[in-house]
Chain A
């Protein structure tokens, strides 16, 4: 993809290199390399970075998942690590929690930014300020934001922010992170608040690309706001919505910092354990880097499915 943007090597699709009128004939590999030296040289930095910090660790992780290191001796153990990880009762708990979080995040974390964007898009004044306001939480370091929730909003006593609001409304208070049933919603609320700014801005950009005439035509046809959203806004932003949904699924399935900070790890009765946290626990607390690698590979396979869907969707978008 980057190749087409590097000056000197840009080519039109389907047009053979040798047909370039000003270019010298390209016959040998050496000459091709020489001709594209600038492009390759600029690329090499990115390639080396990816190779060292992305591809090599990934391959190493896959290799490690089939090995076991004991007493400094590494042996091949086939699928043993996978068998062991799947037999761990926390494995299914973690996947259940991860899917719950992803699903809840889709319902809440996906719909809320879309509607916030629609509302913001309707404003005629102070748009810039409102966007900054919505984007502000994204600028807050996630750890700080989550500590705010943990100690201020989710305080299980009546002094907590949410509990005092509930109490003022004469509604029953909650134990929040200390209640296994509330752990997931509480994590999703905090996560949505932290991250929705970015999604809102993307939706806003997409909304502003919708030709105004479509709304005008809809209004002339007597469509109210909901019908305009249903028949104009959603169809016009369908692909962006689908892309962000895919990205959201891939990102939320790897949630880690929420259980780490809000639930001090696993939460009440393992209600917060995510797959990513379980990987961390195996790798860093249980002296089981190989098991952690196996779990990482399983997660990679699951996420690869969603990523493939994303790639197909983005190709469609292009």
Chain B
């Protein structure tokens, strides 16, 4: 082959190769849902990542056992890295249309998932035939994942927030670990004593970035008896005495007492890293925050205990609840939906199996005994079974959560458009935590204007 011909052939091969490559990229892998052998295949995301060795093994064992029990179902697991903890990753997959057949989402994601047009109405499929414990699942959680009377996801986790405190620091500061603060003034007093220990320890720590500031502002507002939006959901409802009190409490601790540490603009991992290092006396969070402190941030279970969310003058008037679930992608065959529900039922909603396999979790340094995931309605059969198993296999001291469980606070859900509103409220939180001269009224007014504009645009 002469040089020019060779060059021409190489160029053509290059072009053809590129074309084929791009065609291959653009072709969606459209696995046959039902193969020739009559098997139903479903893809499911949020398989634990490789570094979570035990969790990954548990998941794979669950898949193997489920497939053994259901020989006609094939579960293809997909690990999507941090998608399950990181809203932007989830949004990208949703926008790109690359979510799996059965896909994970937060309770706050319902609107976004519906807008993307990718969620399937599973009302007629979610029954006790596909999910044996369905009748026991808390109806309030089903409601959160419903819209216009249609169910779009199956809840698999639920939490409510309380005050998490470090018992070691409490003892060092001369505080009674069995009598944690019940009101915000008591939190302030305790924080001052803990911060007085020095060594970079903050008495109370709080978020103010990455939407987590707005998330916690909401919880603090609920504790005051407030709400983020008006009942009709059309206007902001936090620019009032309760909203002011939330920010004033924080400002007093941050600049009045200097009990919240120098480093602010914290988001999820930042605060828990500090907590794992023993530098945080108190913060508000869900029971599984202690799990994250231990498994991801090198803390110790025995150091932490939990109390109900404090109120301003007495018991908190409300606390924030949230959770997670699995959606079903639009276009699945009825067989696939049923197969997906069976898998979720097996791995997430059956006492003694999957996430409730406490016998397996006990020796693995995953906490058993936390008052979570609170999926089953109080007094239901599944709840009783789950409680018995939890008590029998507890590897954390359940006494650490006894105060939290003994005095439940009414749970309120997250507002509509939660993530967008949280993003706005971050600025109010960062304002009082980074500026000693912050004008609380101005911060709330600005946030109110922004949220109202956001809601108006949505409508």
Within 8 A of B (CB), among A192-233: none
Question: A285, B87: Cβ atoms under 8 Å?
Answer: yes
> From residue 419 to 447 of chain B, which have CB atoms closer than 8 A to chain A?
419-420, 423, 426-427, 430-431, 434-435, 438, 443, 446
Q: How far is B88's CA from A143's CA once the two chains are assembled, in angstroms?
A: 18
Given A69-B115, A156-B262, A286-B423, A38:B7 Cβ within 8 A: yes
Complex partner residue of A283 from B91, B115, B117, B446, CB under 8 angstroms = B91
Q: Does A72 contact B (CB under 8 A)?
A: yes
**What are the 8 tightest A-B residue pairs by CB atom distance, in nearest-first order?**
A72-B117, A264-B209, A41-B11, A286-B420, A284-B88, A268-B434, A178-B434, A157-B262
Partner of A265, one of B426, B449, B454: B426
Residue A287 interfacial (CB < 8 Å): yes
A24 at interface by CB-CB < 8 Å: no
The yes or no answer to A180 lying at the interface (CB within 8 A) is yes
Given contacts A44-B15, A265-B209, contact A89 B265 (CB under 8 A): no
Chain A residues at the B interface, C-beta cutoff of 8 Å: 7-8, 37-38, 41-42, 44-45, 48-49, 52, 69-73, 84, 87-90, 155-157, 175, 177-180, 263-270, 280-281, 283-289, 291
B4 interface residue per 8 A CB criterion = yes
Instruction: Give chain B interface residues in 249-299, CB to chain A under 8 Å.
Output: 262-267, 270
Between-chain CB contacts (< 8 Å), 25 pairs: A38-B11, A41-B14, A45-B15, A72-B116, A72-B330, A88-B450, A89-B450, A89-B453, A156-B262, A180-B434, A264-B210, A264-B266, A265-B210, A265-B267, A266-B209, A267-B209, A268-B434, A269-B427, A269-B435, A283-B95, A284-B92, A285-B88, A285-B419, A287-B91, A291-B457
Give the docked Cα–Cα distance between A265 and B266 (Å).
11
Interface residues of B in 16-55 (CB under 8 A from A): 18-19, 22
Q: How far is the CB of A97 from chain B (nearest CB, A)?
A: 13
User: By the criterion CB–CB under 8 Å, are A288 and B420 in contact?
Assistant: yes
Q: How far is the CA of A175 from the CA of B423 in the complex (A)?
A: 23
Chain B contact surface mostly: helix
- For A267, list chain B residues within 8 Å (CB): 209, 265, 430
- Bin the interface of chain B by size: 35 or more
Residue of B nearest to A74 (CB): B117
Q: Which residues of A contact B420 (CB under 8 A)?
A: 285-288
By the criterion CB–CB under 8 Å, are A69 and B116 in contact?
yes
Q: How far is the CA of A289 from the CA of B112 in the complex (A)?
A: 11
| The one of A155, A269, A291 that contacts B430, using a Cβ cutoff of 8 Å | A269
Select B91's contact among A71, A269, A284, beta carbons within 8 Å.
A284
Q: Is B392 an interface residue (CB 8 A)?
A: no
**B140 CB–A CB distance under 8 Å:** no
Closest-by-CB residue of B relative to A41 is B11
| A26-B4 Cα distance, complex, nearest whole Å | 19
A8 to B210 alpha-carbon distance, docked (Å): 56
Q: What residues of chain B lie closer than 8 Å to A41, measured between beta carbons?
A: 8, 11-12, 14-15
Write the B81-112 contact mask toward A (1 if CB under 8 angstroms, else 0).
00000011001100100000000000000011
Asked if A72 and B265 make an inter-chain contact with CB atoms under 8 angstroms apart, the answer reads no
Task: State in angstroms the CA–CA spacing of A251 and B408 once bound together.
Answer: 53
Q: A156-B263, A281-B423 are in contact. Are A71 and B8 (CB under 8 A)?
A: no
Q: If A41-B15, A179-B434 touch, does A89 touch B92 (CB 8 Å cutoff)?
A: no
A178 touches B15 (CB 8 A): no
Q: For the complex, what is the distance from the CA of A69 to the CA of B97, rounded to whole Å? A: 14
User: Are B114 and A71 within 8 A (Cβ)?
Assistant: yes
Establish whether residues B111 and A287, one from each chain, have CB atoms under 8 Å apart when the complex forms: yes
Given contacts A280-B88, A283-B91, 19 further A-B contacts (CB under 8 A): A38-B7, A41-B14, A44-B15, A44-B19, A71-B114, A72-B118, A87-B453, A87-B457, A88-B457, A155-B263, A157-B263, A264-B265, A265-B211, A267-B430, A268-B265, A268-B434, A269-B434, A281-B423, A285-B211
- B426 nearest CB across to chain A (Å): 6
Interface pair B435/A268, CB less than 8 Å apart: yes
Query: Considering the complex, which residues of chain B in the window 204-225 have a beta carbon less than 8 Å from any beta carbon of chain A?
Result: 209-211
Give Cα A285 to B446, complex, Å. 19
Q: Which of B110-129 contact A (CB under 8 A)?
A: 111-112, 114-118
- Distance from A62 Cβ to chain B, minimum over Cβ atoms (Å): 17
Shortest Cβ distance from residue A233 to the other chain B in the assembled complex, whole angstroms: 42
- Chain A residues within 8 Å of B430, by CB: 266-269
A72, B115: Cβ atoms under 8 Å?
A: yes
Contact A178 B419 (CB under 8 A): no
State A293–B270 Cα separation when bound (angstroms).
31
Cα A45 to Cα B95 in complex, Å, equals: 27
Q: How far is the CB of B99 from chain A (nearest CB, A)?
A: 13
Query: What residues of chain B lie closer than 8 Å to A178, measured between beta carbons?
Result: 263-265, 434
List, in ascending order, chain B residues with CB within 8 A of A90's CB. 450
Q: How near does chain A come to B376, taking the closest CB pair, in angstroms?
A: 31
B contact residues around A7 at 8 Å (CB): 7
Query: Which residues of chain A come closer than 8 Å to B270, judged between CB atoms?
Result: 264
Residues of B within 8 A of A175 (CB): 434
The reply to whether the CB of B130 lies closer than 8 angstroms to some CB of chain A is: no
Residues of A within 8 A of B112 (CB): 287
Closest chain B CB from A287 CB (angstroms): 4
How many Å lie between the Cα of A262 and that of B139 in the bound state? 43
B115 → chain A closest CB, angstroms: 5
- Which residue of chain A is the closest to B450 with respect to CB atoms? A89
Minimum C-beta distance from B289 to chain A (A): 18
Whole-angstrom CA separation of A157 from B8 in the bound complex:
65
Distance in angstroms from A231 CB to nearest chain B CB is 48
Partner of A89, one of B22, B95, B449: B449
A38 to B14, CA, bound (A): 11
Distance in Å: Cβ of B228 to nearest Cβ of chain A: 15
Greatest chain A CB density within 10 A among B270, B420, B430 is at B430
- Shortest distance in angstroms between A87's beta carbon and chain B's nearest beta carbon? 6
Q: Smallest CB-CB separation from B118: which chain A residue?
A: A72
Residues of A with C-beta under 8 A to B443: 269
B417 adjacent to chain A (CB < 8 Å): yes
Contact of B117 with A71 in the complex, beta carbons under 8 Å: yes
Asked if B200 is at the interface (CB within 8 A of a chain A CB), the reply is yes
* A contact residues around B419 at 8 Å (CB): 285-287
A155 contact set on B, CB distance < 8 A: 262-263
Cα separation A285 to B106 with both chains bound (whole Å) = 13
Give Cα distance in the complex from A71 to B266, angstroms: 34
- Shortest CB–CB separation between residue B198 and chain A, in angstroms? 12
**A266 near B18 (CB under 8 angstroms)?**
no
